[in-house]
Amino acid sequence: MKPAATGESGATPEMGAGRVAVKKAAGNVVEIGSIAAFGFSPLWLLAAASDVLNGTRVYLQTLEEELTNAGILAEGAQFGSVDQLLGALGDTTGTTAGVIDMPPIELQELRRSVSELAANATSLPRPGELAALFDGLVRTARAENRSLLEVSSGVGLAFLTSARNVTRDHLVAPYRDDWRPLRNEGFGAYAVRVSGPIATRSAGTSTPIGTRSRSAASAGSAGHGWHSSGFEGSVRATPEKRPHRGLRLPEARGAEPGAASTRRGTWRRPAPGQERGGQEPGHECPWRRGRSPDRRRTRLYGGGVLLLPDTTSMRPRRAAGERRMAPDVRGEGPSSGAGGPRAHRPGATPSGGRRCA
Amino acid sequence: MSSGPQRRSAARVRYLASLPERGLRALSATVFGTAHEAAQLALPRFVRRSRFYEVTAKNALRIAVELVGG
């Protein structure tokens, strides 16, 4: 970067070196942005594409006129191809390089894009499409009372702005959200929290059979780690942990009047006010406590903890309105529709039962 | 009828015989669980939520951690 000439403008003769550096940097950023936008401008692409296709030189002449009006090219300069134009720009980039205090790397980029266009000449738009694009540019320039070069650079700048917005919305912002727990907790605490269930499961495999399922279950139902990272939580299949609506454990089988034995337990008529759903207002379903509402299904296998991938898509489709019924709902119990543990799953609503709040 | 010490020694033999499998399961859970958590942080969200990632890498990691290592 060139040293700043003190008192160049005369207005601020005692401008500090820091202030000059800031102004220079800002000017360079604007200038680089304009040049980068020129690289994406349709007028430039039209001229390059038409040159590659050996098509009309109207676009090239228009670009020459616009560059001449902008003071970049000398009056009366005419070129036979885009390469000659780039060569002339390279010779006259003393101005550009003086403005931005950098080597004219943008010309190398433009030459590279011409080479890429030539390499993919077969996939370029047809002359009719190029002409339609050029007409659109001319109409816009007339409507906006701007030069064609300004409109073309504006389109290129809009492309860059759009690319920046898309990057910000779909890449930067999600990363910021995903890494927020890491920033808030610190890497150590985050690593300990996330690796806790994994470590417990790994340790559970080394314990003798019989204690493994209990430790693994406590790891899976801890409510952190796998839940937050998208894996399904584990649920113990022990009956005492199951929520019940009218279904009692075998210990109570036959101990109460009106109790009826079923294959899976003893059904008892629910208390008044707990008919069907068995839930009072404000009841919090234990299956949903601390779980996300969009949680997928978790299969239970006899007494152990087993987590399976979501196989919903592999299950046979049922007819619309047909539900998977719990055994006592299928008619094995004395009261169809009372609901059992299976019917208490999130989303499962036996006939007449209230949906879990 | 086997006595108590014999049963304990048989259980110990079974446990020792199953140690390699347990070690492999623990290794699987550790390695693939770490890979899953690293992917959660490193991959962009649009990649992680793409259908292709879900049906390939995510399900493979899930099976490796939950079925093999669980």
Per-residue pLDDT reduced to its tens digit, A291-331? 544 444 444 444 444 444 444 445 555 555 555 554 444 44
Closest partner residue to B29 among A171, A201, A209, by Cβ?
A201
Closest partner residue to A205 among B25, B45, B59, by Cβ?
B25
Higher-confidence position of A145 and A120: A145
CA nearest to B42, candidates A200, A248, A55, A182: A182
Sheet strands (E) in chain A: 247-248, 260-261, 266-267
Per-residue pLDDT reduced to its tens digit, A251-287? 344 444 444 444 454 455 556 655 554 455 555 555 5
What is each CA distance from A59 to A46, A47, A65, in whole angstroms?
A: 6, 5, 10
Q: How far is CA A195 from the centre of its chain?
A: 25
Phi, psi of A267 (to 5 degrees): -95, 140
The answer to whether residue A98 scores a pLDDT higher than 60 is no
Q: Tell me which residues of chain B, numbers 36 to 65, contact chain A at a CB-CB cutoff of 8 Å.
A: 36-37, 40-41, 44-46, 58-59, 62-63, 65
Residues of B with Cβ-Cβ distance to A179 under 8 angstroms: 41
Closest partner residue to B37 among A203, A208, A229, by Cβ?
A229
Higher-confidence position of A60 and B36: B36
For residue A168, the chain B residue with the least C-alpha distance is B44
What mean pLDDT do residues B56-60 have?
91
End-to-end CA gap in chain A = 67
**So what's the pLDDT on residue A300?**
42
Instruction: Mean pLDDT check: name the lowest of A16-30, A46-60, A131-145, A162-176.
Output: A16-30
Domain locations in chain B? 24-70
DSSP state of A192: H
What mean pLDDT do residues A7-16 have?
49
The answer to whether residue B41 scores a pLDDT higher than 80 is yes
Residues of A with Cβ-Cβ distance to B27 under 8 angstroms: 202
What is A132-145 written as a DSSP string? HHHHHHHHHHHHHT
Higher-confidence position of A18 and A281: A18
**So what's the pLDDT on residue A236?**
36
Which pTM value belongs to this model? 0.41
**So what's the pLDDT on residue B39?**
92
The answer to whether residue A192 scores a pLDDT higher than 70 is yes
- For chain A, the average pLDDT equals 61
**So what's the pLDDT on residue A336?**
42
Cβ distance A229 to B30 less than 8 Å, yes or no, reads no
The Cα–Cα gap between A177 and A171 comes to 10
Contact A226/A233 with Cβ under 8 angstroms?
A: yes
Cβ distance B37 to A205 less than 8 Å, yes or no, reads no
Higher-confidence position of A253 and A151: A151
End-to-end CA gap in chain B = 34
The Cα–Cα gap between A315 and A145 comes to 63
**So what's the pLDDT on residue B35?**
92
What mean pLDDT do residues A12-26 have?
60
Cβ distance B45 to A174 less than 8 Å, yes or no, reads yes
Q: How many CB pairs under 8 A join A and B?
A: 78
**Across chain B, how many H-helices and E-strands are there?**
5, 0
Closest partner residue to A216 among B45, B46, B70, by Cβ?
B70
Higher-confidence position of A284 and A150: A150
What mean pLDDT do residues A195-220 have?
60
Sheet strands (E) in A266-343: 266-267
The Cα–Cα gap between A17 and A1 comes to 13
Strands A266-267, A247-248: pairing kind: antiparallel
Cβ distance A179 to B59 less than 8 Å, yes or no, reads no
pLDDT band for position A175 (cuts 50, 70, 90)? very high
The Cα–Cα gap between B39 and A194 comes to 13
**So what's the pLDDT on residue A220?**
43
